[in-house]
Amino acid sequence: MGGTDIRTTPAEPRLVRPTLLRAFLAGEYLSLGILCFSAAIGLLWLLFGTASPVASAAMITGCCWTAFRAVGGMAGEFRAGWVSACVTAMALLLWLSAVRDVPAWLATSWASPATLALLSSVLFCCDVLDIRHVQNQHITPELRRRRDGLRVVLVVCGLFTLWGVGLPIATELYRQGPPDSASQLERMALPQHIGFRCGEAFVTLCFFILGANIGSFLNVVAWRLPQGRSIVSGDSCCPGCGKSISRRDNVPILGWLWLGGRCRSCQSAISSRYPKVEALTGGIFLLFYFLQLISGGATLPLRTINLYRGVLWTVMFAKWDLIGLYLYHCFMLATVLAAVLMIHDRYRLPRRLQLFTLTLAAISPLLFPTLILIPAFPAIPTGSYSATHAPPACLLFSLAGLTGGAAAGQLFSWFSQRTRMPSEQLLPAGDLKWMFAFVGAVLGWQSAATFLVFALALLLFCRWLTDGSRWGPAWLLAALLLHHATWRLHWIWIPTM
Ligand SMILES: [Zn+2]
């Protein structure tokens, strides 16, 4: 990393000295240690019922605060004194209330542990943000990214523990209350319950990792396809020195953070777009995993929501129709994301990508009729499986979706020209027609129409908010996500006849 830290211009922020950096890193690891310790103690307290959950949370908050303060002090900057003082006072009060009975003066409504915990957590967040701001001014970007990598791992581990261990323990505590509320799951012994929840958390993690890996693939697609290069052969390589990137450094999100955003061999900067796209795709997969898959299809229109929901009943005892719909819709969202990336890079969408995706979307309902949720025309009875899913109805669905979508794309192109947007920001009409036709073929022509309404609303909102240049084509993806997440909700406003 030699040489990269030396800045000569006085305008640059002062970088922290190496000894302070080492102290800062030591503080960072110390804070992790304290965090783990206090979380364990808090859980033990919860488990043995010697303290209220609020008090345990407060203790964890207090420990976190101490650790962060220590780090802030070591980094050589001490600010936000009053905020820290308030947080300390509240954490101490709550800690006190945890080890003995809550004093009468503390039990009044305005100073109840719940109020104090709420306030202290708000103040704590302010404090953390403030320290983070100060720290970020004084450490190198590479170090910051490596620290962020550590935090990503920690957050994932924390969420995993919360789901896998925290949830069963909370259920266990709840079970000590009214016995009649105990369901099948709550009758499990604690170790079994922890094992079961850890399994659930693992499945959820797998879906995020799947999304992040597909995001990694989308980066490759958006980079190579417009240049006419193959997307299946050839390792990913550094754009700077051309050396292929090792498997270890190619881990989505974390690879980039651990490398500090630089190539291992030539130290040239790697764009932060790669981890962002990976995180975004992972996030989209996770969002619809919760909204559409393990909810038993709660966001899907004209479909009875599954009685048995959750990870166990939808993924482990696989409900293939629901999983198929989820994967098919994720494929659509990922394809639109790749297209958005290409349009953002000012490439025209390759003809073979358009043809391939449209063909796939057109024939999929014929091969898997359960992918159709909304019949193309109201005359086709919705309740009758055979009528909705017979080959002529499937063909009608695809054709109506393609033509309706293309018309919606044409309309959108016409409308966006009317918003007096600078001509270089206008999206090519052909690409717009493809995107709407693709959405129409996957979700039905009705969705292409509602997608058009959502996209126009977002376009006008973004035009009103900014000059539009910062948003690019991203609001098209945003409109589609919004449409898909609220599909069942806005569908009930459209008469089905
Ligand atoms: Zn390189």
Q: How far is the CA of 237 from the centre of ligand 1 (A)?
A: 8
Q: How far is the CA of 386 from the centre of ligand 1 (A)?
A: 57
Q: Which residue has the higher pLDDT, 428 or 188?
A: 428
Whether pLDDT at 163 is above 50: yes
Are 271 and 383 part of one and the same domain? no
Are 46 and 70 part of one and the same domain? yes
DSSP symbol at 313: I
Q: How far is the CA of 274 from the centre of ligand 1 (A)?
A: 15
Average pLDDT over the chain, rounded to whole?
A: 75
Task: Supply 206's token pair.
Answer: 């797998």
Is 397 in contact with 372 (CB distance < 8 Å)? Answer: yes
Q: How far is the CA of 230 from the centre of ligand 1 (A)?
A: 21
Q: CA 247 to CA 144: how far, in whole Å? A: 23
Are 116 and 173 part of one and the same domain? no
Look at residue 2 in the predicted model and tell me its pLDDT.
Answer: 35
Maximum distance among all alpha carbons in the chain?
Answer: 76
Q: How far is the CA of 265 from the centre of ligand 1 (A)?
A: 5
Is 419 in contact with 463 (CB distance < 8 Å)? Answer: yes
Whether pLDDT at 13 is above 70: no
Are 245 and 193 part of one and the same domain? yes
Q: What is the pLDDT of residues 18-30, one digit of tens each?
A: 555 555 555 545 5
Are 247 and 277 part of one and the same domain? yes
Look at residue 110 in the predicted model and tell me its pLDDT.
Answer: 46
Are 88 and 155 part of one and the same domain? no
* Structural domain count, the chain: 3
* Region of poorest pLDDT, from 45-49, 106-110, 287-291, 388-392: 106-110
Whether pLDDT at 412 is above 80: yes
Share of the chain above pLDDT 70, in %: 62
Phi–psi pair at 266, nearest 5 degrees: -110, 0
Q: How far is the CA of 250 from the centre of ligand 1 (A)?
A: 13
Q: How far is the CA of 268 from the centre of ligand 1 (A)?
A: 6
Are 464 and 383 part of one and the same domain? yes
In a domain, 312, yes or no: no
Are 68 and 149 part of one and the same domain? no
Are 29 and 111 part of one and the same domain? yes
Look at residue 281 in the predicted model and tell me its pLDDT.
Answer: 97
In a domain, 209, yes or no: yes
How large is the average pLDDT for residues 180-195?
67
Q: How far is the CA of 225 from the centre of ligand 1 (A)?
A: 21
In a domain, 195, yes or no: yes
In a domain, 316, yes or no: no
Q: Which residue has the higher pLDDT, 474 or 449?
A: 449
* Region of poorest pLDDT, from 11-15, 130-134, 216-220, 411-415: 11-15
In a domain, 346, yes or no: no
Whether pLDDT at 364 is above 70: yes
In a domain, 6, yes or no: no
Query: What is the C-alpha end-to-end distance of the chain, expressed in Å?
Result: 67
pLDDT band at 261 (very low <50, low <70, confident <90, very high): confident
Share of the chain above pLDDT 90, in %: 24
Q: CA 232 to CA 214: how far, in whole Å? A: 13
Are 446 and 387 part of one and the same domain? yes
Q: Which residue has the higher pLDDT, 1 or 288?
A: 288
Look at residue 459 in the predicted model and tell me its pLDDT.
Answer: 83
Whether pLDDT at 252 is above 70: yes
Domain boundary among 247, 262, 293: 293
Are 480 and 430 part of one and the same domain? yes
Whether pLDDT at 328 is above 90: yes
Q: How far is the CA of 264 from the centre of ligand 1 (A)?
A: 6
Domain boundary among 293, 310, 326: 293
Q: Which domain holds residue 444?
A: 353-491
Q: How far is the CA of 263 from the centre of ligand 1 (A)?
A: 5
Q: Which residue has the higher pLDDT, 239 or 493?
A: 239
CA atoms within 13 A on the CB side of 53: 8
Q: How far is the CA of 239 from the centre of ligand 1 (A)?
A: 7
Are 107 and 152 part of one and the same domain? no
pTM (2 d.p.): 0.71
Look at residue 429 in the predicted model and tell me its pLDDT.
Answer: 87
- Bridge partners for 355 per DSSP: none
Look at residue 298 in the predicted model and tell me its pLDDT.
Answer: 86
Is 224 in contact with 231 (CB distance < 8 Å)? Answer: yes
Q: How far is the CA of 242 from the centre of ligand 1 (A)?
A: 6
Q: How far is the CA of 234 from the centre of ligand 1 (A)?
A: 16
In a domain, 347, yes or no: no
Q: How far is the CA of 244 from the centre of ligand 1 (A)?
A: 8
Query: How would you classify residue 178: left for phi > 0, otherwise alpha for psi between -120 and 50, otherwise beta?
Result: beta
Q: How far is the CA of 245 from the centre of ligand 1 (A)?
A: 8
Domain boundary among 76, 111, 139: 139
Q: How far is the CA of 271 from the centre of ligand 1 (A)?
A: 12
In a domain, 335, yes or no: no
Q: How far is the CA of 260 from the centre of ligand 1 (A)?
A: 13
